[in-house]
Amino acid sequence: MENCETYEYDILVIGSGGAGLRAVIAAREAGCSVGVLCKSLLGKAHTVMAEGGVAASLANMTNPDGTHEKDSWEVHFVDTMKGGAFLNNWRTVEIFAKEAPDRVLELEQYGAVFDRTPEGLIAERPFGGHKYRRLNHVGDRTGLEIIRTLQDKAVSVGMNVHMEITCTRLLKEGNRVVGAFGYYRESGKFVTFKAKAVVLATGGWGRMYRYTSNSWEGTGDGLMMAYEAGAELIDMEMIQFHPTGMIWPPGMRGILVTEGVRGEGGVLRNSKGERFMFDKKYMPALYNGQFADTEEEGARWLTDKQNNRRPPELLPRDVVARAIYREIEAGNGSEHGGVYLDVTHRGADYIKRKLPSMYEQFHALGGVDITKEPMEVYPTIHYTMGGVRVHPETCATTVDGLFAAGEVAAGLHGANRLGGNSLSDILVFGRRAGIAASSYAKEHTLGVLDNAQIEEEQEYLLLPLKTTNGENPYTIHSELQDAMQTNAMIARTEAGLLSALEKILELQKRAEKLSAPGDRFFNPGWHAARDVRFMLRASEVIVRCALERKESRGAQWRLDFPDRDDEVWGKKNLIASRNGDMVKITTRELDAMPPELKRLFEETK
């Protein structure tokens, strides 16, 4: 076994996006020593890419008659449950909706500078599935504002930052997680961490798909480390296809176009020029009567939200993504096979002020002036609702000593996440995970690292460097992306999913013999070899769960089971866990919602 450095902390936070950094702040305030691991450099995590805003019911917006919109945590709760097609954990959603406003106001104290209302309060914009204007924002770069704010705050409370470390295994003593193992990207040297409690904040996994808004980091390492350590995963079939990703030019395909474009009045049209979202066949029964019936009403809503209903472009993401897909299937696609998103009617000044990074993105990368011409868009893999099953109050996973928050954790979003809820998710539950991990750390001492586990992982990692005639990990990755993009995408069938599964199993076998030429010093091919193995196992879990859920709900759209089945599948979550080398799939009954929460659905109608 190769000797490696060991660092000791009360709390080890794996992941330095919003959830990780908010956990750091909470743990430091609780008096714990904290080490945080970044897979990239500090401040580059996916949080930076969030655009539209952070959802919290501050109720800052006024109507034309001067009254404030009647937003409240109760309405936010109802919207989130409906958006998630009731697969969400209601207790998680309740905590979330109640605490989100405080977490946003706190950011302002830390230094965030939000856009303002005429009264000088934080400005809130409309977004899909949110009944009232609720997305507190900074133009269309809210995520950058949040990560930089948390980064500066975390620096000021003090933490040890380990940058460019890829963590590949959680280390256990008996049934408890007591540390983690990884390597330095720069030198390839191994490193171990000992901690009284570990907070997993590693984000989502979209890289197994061809077209995704995820960066190279989104390979599901954190998710799979938890799975390998015995944690239960939940709702893994639920992958969010964001309705609007760039489709042209080819190199830009998958890059996100913020929902803020629609929030600011952007409209979707097919190649015939039709506002297809007004087609009744796309309106889910759950939202009947709550959206504008005519384009005229939709246009009036831009200036008078009190007396008009929102246009149907602002339905939840799963609904809009499906409609776009069906329009294209029906032959109504745009030049490059997407649909048109047009915001030109808002005028150049307004667009440049409210959507500056979209303007810049299309101008610099796509050669399109969005103040003069429509964008072409197509759904892109964006977010993972599923993940590690956690306790609603404490973010504790089903493994002792391990906590999880943010996108890697599951329960809040159910079958579909509403835009803006991820940024408040990381604030509310990043903090809660930091607090709960700190309490745990105060009741426990450091554990003992098991050399056998470390040695096993070292050998596993080094193998591709020693193998001379194995496959290129990028080739395996590329074939996986094709399989997932073709057969586990937005519209699913049993036959398609089975063929994806067959391909994944074949690739898993081939991935046993990978080659990575070169040495350990900043060697991307070598890193890709470990990443692709995480992705292959995560893909298997996704596909097996998608096969199992024989209904259509939220992001899971089965062409062979097109209806929602509230009697059977509306009552349970799918749970995936490790059983040796096999993926074990079971179900778990949803907890019954208490009457005081049930009542909210009547009251807020």
Partner 1 sequence: MDTVTLKIFRGNTSGGEMVSYTVPKTPGMVVLDAVHYIQRSLDTTLACRWNCKAAKCGSCSAEIDGTPRLMCKSRIEEYPSGEITVGPMRAFPLLKDLVTDVSWNYRVATKIPSLVPKPEVSGKPFVLQQEDVERVQEFRKCIECFLCQDVCHVIREHDKKDAFFGPRQMVRIAGLEMHPMDGINRREQLKNEAGIGMCNITKCCTEVCPEHIHITDNAIIPMKERVVDDYFDPITKILRKVGVLPTDKKASFSSVPNGLTVIKQENSSSKS
The nearer residue to partner 1, 188 or 312, going by C-beta atoms, is 188
Q: Which of 83, 3, 11, 35 is nearest to 401 (CA)?
A: 11
Residue 444, burial from CB neighbour count under 10 angstroms (0-12, 13-18, 19+): middle
The answer to whether residue 594 forms part of the interface with partner 1 (CB under 8 A) is no
Q: Which residues contact 151 (CB under 8 A, 6 or more apart)?
A: 21, 42, 43
Restricting to residues 472-501, which ones interact with partner 1 according to CB under 8 A?
472-474, 478
Using CB under 8 A, which of 230, 284, 524, 570 touches partner 1? 524
Q: Minimal distance in Å, beta carbon 390 to partner 1?
A: 26
Using CB under 8 A, which of 14, 48, 409, 427 touches partner 1? 48
Tokens 């859920």 -> residue: 549
CA angle centred on 37, ends 32 and 38, rounded to 5°: 140
The answer to whether residue 163 forms part of the interface with partner 1 (CB under 8 A) is yes
Q: DSSP label at 65?
A: T
- CA–CA separation, 592 and 45 (whole Å): 36
Q: Minimal distance in Å, beta carbon 560 to partner 1?
A: 35
Task: Find the helix or strand (DSSP H, E) in which 19 lies.
Answer: helix 18-29
The nearer residue to partner 1, 107 or 233, going by C-beta atoms, is 107
- Which among 85-93, 154-162, 312-320, 556-564 is the span making contact with partner 1, rule CB under 8 A? 154-162
Q: Minimal distance in Å, beta carbon 39 to partner 1?
A: 9
Using CB under 8 A, which of 271, 522, 551, 565 touches partner 1? 522
Restricting to residues 274-333, which ones interact with partner 1 according to CB under 8 A?
none
Q: Minimal distance in Å, beta carbon 138 to partner 1?
A: 7
- CA–CA separation, 109 and 116 (whole Å): 15
CA angle centred on 218, ends 390 and 394, rounded to 5°: 15
Using CB under 8 A, which of 158, 347, 562, 594 touches partner 1? 158
Residue 115, burial from CB neighbour count under 10 angstroms (0-12, 13-18, 19+): middle
The answer to whether residue 138 forms part of the interface with partner 1 (CB under 8 A) is yes
Using CB under 8 A, which of 74, 79, 94, 145 touches partner 1? 145
The answer to whether residue 462 forms part of the interface with partner 1 (CB under 8 A) is no
Using only the alpha carbons of the chain, give its radius of gyration. Answer: 23
Using CB under 8 A, which of 66, 120, 174, 580 touches partner 1? 120
- Helices assigned H by DSSP within 467-517: 473-487, 494-510
The nearer residue to partner 1, 38 or 404, going by C-beta atoms, is 38
The answer to whether residue 49 forms part of the interface with partner 1 (CB under 8 A) is yes
Tell me whether residue 300 is one of the annotated catalytic residues. no
Q: Which of 423, 428, 425, 427 is nearest to 135 (CA)?
A: 423
The answer to whether residue 139 forms part of the interface with partner 1 (CB under 8 A) is yes
Q: Which of 135, 244, 228 is nearest to 181 (CA)?
A: 228
Contact 309, 232 (CB under 8 A): no
Catalytic residue among 242, 477, 544, 558: 242
Task: Find the helix or strand (DSSP H, E) in which 260 lies.
Answer: helix 260-263
Q: Which two tokens stand for residue 110?
A: 């830390």
Binding mask 238-257 for partner 1 (x = CB under 8 A): ----------xxxxx--xx-
The answer to whether residue 111 forms part of the interface with partner 1 (CB under 8 A) is yes
The answer to whether residue 144 forms part of the interface with partner 1 (CB under 8 A) is yes
- Which among 141-149, 267-275, 417-425, 493-501 is the span making contact with partner 1, rule CB under 8 A? 141-149
Catalytic residue among 46, 125, 262, 558: 262
The nearer residue to partner 1, 108 or 512, going by C-beta atoms, is 108
HEC letters along 202-219: CCCECCCCCCECCCCCCE
Q: Which of 21, 16, 5, 484 is nearest to 209 (CA)?
A: 484
The nearer residue to partner 1, 114 or 276, going by C-beta atoms, is 114
- Helices assigned H by DSSP within 411-570: 421-443, 451-466, 473-487, 494-510, 524-548
The answer to whether residue 448 forms part of the interface with partner 1 (CB under 8 A) is no
- CA–CA separation, 267 and 133 (whole Å): 18
Restricting to residues 1-20, which ones interact with partner 1 according to CB under 8 A?
5-9
The answer to whether residue 394 forms part of the interface with partner 1 (CB under 8 A) is no
Using CB under 8 A, which of 29, 119, 335, 591 touches partner 1? 119
Residue 148, burial from CB neighbour count under 10 angstroms (0-12, 13-18, 19+): middle
Helix, strand, or coil (residue 220): coil
The answer to whether residue 33 forms part of the interface with partner 1 (CB under 8 A) is yes
Tell me whether residue 413 is one of the annotated catalytic residues. no
Q: Which two tokens stand for residue 395?
A: 């973010």
- Which among 140-148, 224-232, 314-322, 501-509 is the span making contact with partner 1, rule CB under 8 A? 140-148
Q: Are strands 176-184 and 409-410 parallel, antiparallel or unpaired?
A: unpaired
Q: Minimal distance in Å, beta carbon 28 to partner 1?
A: 8
Q: Minimal distance in Å, beta carbon 36 to partner 1?
A: 9
Strand partners, 322: none
Binding mask 66-105 for partner 1 (x = CB under 8 A): ---------------------------------------x
Restricting to residues 201-230, which ones interact with partner 1 according to CB under 8 A?
215-217
Using CB under 8 A, which of 14, 314, 377, 516 touches partner 1? 516
- CA–CA separation, 338 and 276 (whole Å): 13
- CA–CA separation, 114 and 298 (whole Å): 27
The nearer residue to partner 1, 135 or 144, going by C-beta atoms, is 144
Q: Which of 406, 576, 446, 537 is nearest to 171 (CA)?
A: 446
The backbone torsions φ and ψ at residue 505, rounded to the nearest 5 degrees and listed phi first, read -65, -40
Using CB under 8 A, which of 63, 175, 187, 586 touches partner 1? 187
Q: Minimal distance in Å, beta carbon 137 to partner 1?
A: 11
The nearer residue to partner 1, 14 or 575, going by C-beta atoms, is 14
Cα atoms in the 13 Å half-sphere on the side-chain side of 585: 16
The answer to whether residue 463 forms part of the interface with partner 1 (CB under 8 A) is no
Using CB under 8 A, which of 29, 108, 329, 393 touches partner 1? 108
Active-site residues, by number, are 242, 262
